[in-house]
Amino acid sequence: MSLQFSRSMRSLRADSFRITRLGLLFGILLMCGLLVWFFFAKVTLYENSTSIQIRNDGQAVARFSEEGLRRIRQGQPVVVRVDQGADLPAITIPGMVYDTQKQDGQVILSLFATDLPESLLAGDLSGRAEVEVEYITPVQLLVRAMGRYLDSTNQIPVSPQTFPTPTPRGNN
């Protein structure tokens, strides 16, 4: 059964694909926004301490891993988070890196809090110090992570095939 030409053109004119075009435009704008974020957003990287001790003079001594010590410099901002217990929220104390003692693995932190609770000065506390070591973009973070996996010695082979090692032939 055939349609009349005028009826088919009228149906094509009525179906303008407007919603499809708007959806496509929205998707393209969303992808452009994600690409701009991927190349230009700043992500803060932190080094976390393994232990921390707060002294009476308003300074704290934190221990970091050897790799973390290489990235910590004097004057970098730091946030000290001290756990008070199961029922109480953690105390957040801002500060900055005062000095690094690389041979001991310790970093001396200058805290910006003037009235520290006596429970913190007792020495028996659990918490961590988070030092802002660098700002990078998500694409730099991705490239750095790829480099770590590509340079490793225990790399996963690309091909699952195993090739036999050639054996030397003797003189016949």
Closest CA to 129 of 42, 44, 43, 53: 53
Please indicate whether residue 104 or residue 165 has the higher confidence score (pLDDT): 104
Q: Does position 24 have pLDDT exceeding 80, yes or no?
A: yes
Closest CA to 93 of 120, 114, 112, 121: 112
- Positive or negative CA dihedral for 109, 61, 134, 82? negative
Structural domains in the chain, sorted by start? 48-132 (2.40.30.230)
Note the pLDDT tens digit of each residue in 128-167. Answer: 889 998 889 999 988 888 876 655 555 555 545 555 555 6
Average pLDDT over residues 64-85: 85
Please indicate whether residue 171 or residue 88 has the higher confidence score (pLDDT): 88
Which pLDDT does position 168 carry in this prediction? 63
How buried is 78 (Cβ within 10 angstroms: 0-12 exposed, 13-18 middle, 19+ buried)?
A: buried
Which pLDDT does position 25 carry in this prediction? 96
Which pLDDT does position 42 carry in this prediction? 94
Q: Does position 31 have pLDDT exceeding 70, yes or no?
A: yes
Which pLDDT does position 27 carry in this prediction? 97
Q: Which DSSP letter does residue 122 get? A: T
